Amino acid sequence: MNVLVLNCGSSSLKYKIVKMPEGKELVRGEAERVGVKSRGISKITHSVMGKKRSLETPLEDHPAALKEALNLIADDAATNKNIRFDLFAHRYVHPGTFFPGPVKVSAAVLSKLKKTFPLAPIHNPISYRLIEFCYRKYPSVRQFAVFDTSFHRTIPPEFAAYALDRKVAAKYGIRKIGFHGISHRYVMEESCRFLSRDLFQQKIISCHLGTGGASVCAIRNGKSINNSMGFTPLEGLMMNTRSGDIDPGAVFYMMFKEKLSSEEAEKVLNNKSGVLGVFNSSSDLRDAMKDMGGDRRAKITFDMYVRRVRTYVCFYALILKKADILIFTDSLGVGFPELRRSVCVDMGLVGINIDEEKNRKYREGIGDISSHEGGTRILVVPTDEEIMIAREAYKELMKSGLDS
């Protein structure tokens, strides 16, 4: 059984063909800078059985990226009979209250997912269009949706509840939902495996820092107990085009002064804020980091981003009563030692002490960059949401039966 995993980020599309149940990767790829304002060139990096190639091509949206990826896969299949897929597995960010766990895609499921667009306006419409495309184009291929939110169902009420009118909150299901759960769960498991520790006895802070979305998660004994994102992915860290935490009063004032509708205000917060709003010339923090030496706005953007991450790491270290493990993952967390150093500097008070030489020399795989002075192990762990999605989809298929 080969599973084709499709993982949409706000500005990327990762895909992977995984042979199950072995979990063996056959094909992997990533489309970068999809549909965003950026100085960099849109491209797809495609790898088959370890053999890599790149394709630079305009990627105006995620459907265009998917079509290019499917063309590359078709080329590979023409010369290698093992390159095929029997099952689609999609990452879907926010299912609302419709689905607590993975679900097989049907017309009825699509109808419910279409109602979730306002909950994650950057991600859900993108993912939905790809699921619908695959459902129409490949009607004989089974599909499963795996949700970013499932891991966070264990967040306790004192962290999940908002201080709103109780009846209104209950009526509309307004509570902290949490996101990036697939990634946080994967790096939790991998870090404990790397350190030969029982994950059910660990206190972990996971920093998923991507070029699109980003979040920090507090994990105790294998369960998520808090996440920087909230009812939607808008809450929390400053992201590429999302504002993150903001005084609601500032939003109301902006709406009043600019005469904005709620839909227009939502677009400002989700699509025109964050790195793009502050730096302005790009929504990509990597571009701001390149310009920090000579561009004041670039330096301010970087400092704001780091300050948000540090705030959540310190808060979660407090509620965990010091973390056993601090994890950096995803493209920014893995790729930029200066970002990791800036987050960890002067954090000895909460037991976090980075070894700057180890941090600077890290290249690939799982790396330990802690000085061990404070007891918290600081790890760089490349995430693999696609493997986790393939596992969840395959597990759901086995539960429902191969003939379903």
Which positions are catalytic? 148
* Residues 178 and 229 sit within 8 Å (Cβ to Cβ): yes
Q: List the beta bridge partners of residue 32.
A: 12, 43
Q: Which string of DSSP letters, residue by residue, matches 331-380?
A: HHHHH-HHHHHHHHTT-GGGT--B-HHHHHH--SSSEE-B-SSSSPEEEE
3-state SS class at 171: helix
**Element spanning 267, H or E:** helix 262-271
CA distances from 246 to 49, 188, 236, 251, 275 (A): 45, 29, 9, 8, 14
Tokens of 90: 């999609």
Contacts for 369 with CB less than 8 Å, ≥ 6 apart: 340, 354, 355, 358, 359, 362, 378, 379, 380
Spatial separation of the C-alpha atoms in residues 187 and 196, rounded to whole Å: 14
Spatial separation of the C-alpha atoms in residues 135 and 129, rounded to whole Å: 10
* Buried residues in 119-136 as b, exposed as e (16+ CB within 10 A): bbbbbbbbbbebbebbbe
* Residues 149 and 181 sit within 8 Å (Cβ to Cβ): yes
Instruction: Determine how β-strand 2-8 pairs with β-strand 12-19.
Output: antiparallel
Spatial separation of the C-alpha atoms in residues 228 and 247, rounded to whole Å: 15
3-state SS class at 136: helix
Report the sign of the C-alpha dihedral through residues 191, 195, 197, 201, in that order: negative
The number of CA neighbours under 13 Å toward the Cβ of 65 is 31
Is cis: bond before 382, omega within 30 of 0?
no
Spatial separation of the C-alpha atoms in residues 284 and 290, rounded to whole Å: 10
Q: Which string of DSSP letters, residue by residue, matches 59-119?
A: --SHHHHHHHHHHHHHHHHHH-TT---SEEEEEES--TTS-SS-EE--HHHHHHHGGGGGG
